[in-house]
Amino acid sequence: MDWSKFKNIAIAIFVVLNIILCVLISENKNKKYVMQDVQIRRMQAVFAKENAAVYTTVDKEFYPMSMLKLSVNNINDSEVCKTFFGDINNMKKYVDNEKFVYDKDGNGQVAIYKNGLIKYTKENIIQSNKGIDKEQARNDADKYIDKLGFLKSKYIYTQLNITNEEYIFEYNSFYEKSLILSNYVRIHFKQGEISQVDISNFNIKGYTNEQREISSSDEVLINLLYEVKEKYNKEAQELHVMDIDLGYFVESVDINDYLNIKAEPYYRIQVNESDVYLINAYTNEMLDNR
């Protein structure tokens, strides 16, 4: 027997079997972690039965995800206040529970919390019947983001919420390809002016090693529907899901160790124009309306 020829044939067979095995494993993984069209149709039917609808693209993939390690950034209070006030002479400062508050007559107030949150509130908004031009407000918000030089990450526009009195433009940062829901800038426009800016800006330290399975988007949406449908029924509103995305979030009130924070995957779901819900992708549990 030609053992050299036999050896080559055996190697070739082994390679082919490995390729087949890899394809089978990949197909099985896709079946487990990729939604099928029938699941989406079933979810849409459930919504239709409740006189609700999903008006956005639903991501079919829901592969296991690890947590993300964060820490609270050191904040230079003077740099932050200069950004909002310009001149910080004659600025008043006082401590209020878990935050430092800075007041500047005629310019507004800046609150800087120990957990890294920043809130700027303008002192006076000129009352008028002037309508808010959405495109102009978005352009102004984009320019405003560029002025926030103390931010440690680049922020990208992701969402618009509309209430009766204001537009709220939300910007988030990314880590690699992951959306960071806990890193946000929310710019409020009221009466055509910026009335409030809310900022959260964590330092990102990388992923944890352990991965856990997450809920699929159809499961999350159906859970949301049954959790909140009574609210909209009482208010005689239809429930329309306008947007859904997946990112990392940590509830700021739960932070005890500012240097070792673990953010979990969350779905962010916008209902109608004004309501935003966060749902833990591991547990499918919903936080209160943001």
Bridge partner residues of 108 (DSSP):
104
For 184-228, the pLDDT digits (tens) are 999 999 877 889 999 999 999 999 988 999 999 999 999 999 999
Architecture of domain 34-68+207-280: Beta Barrel (2.40)
Give CA–CA dist 45/79, Å, rounded: 52
For 14-42, the pLDDT digits (tens) are 544 455 444 444 444 456 889 988 999 99
Reading the block at residue 183, the tokens are 């890193």
Confidence (pTM) = 0.85
Looking up tokens 């979030």, which residue turns up? 249
Res 275 pLDDT > 80: yes
Mean pLDDT, residues 165-187: 94
pLDDT at residue number 216: 96
For 52-71, the pLDDT digits (tens) are 999 999 999 999 999 999 99
Q: Where in the chain are the domains?
A: 1-31, 34-68+207-280, 76-115+117-200
Provide the pairing of β-strand 193-200 with 178-190.
antiparallel
pLDDT at residue number 129: 57
SS3 56: coil
For 231-270, the pLDDT digits (tens) are 998 988 899 999 999 999 998 766 777 788 899 999 999 9
Average pLDDT, the chain: 86
Give CA–CA dist 276/268, Å, rounded: 7
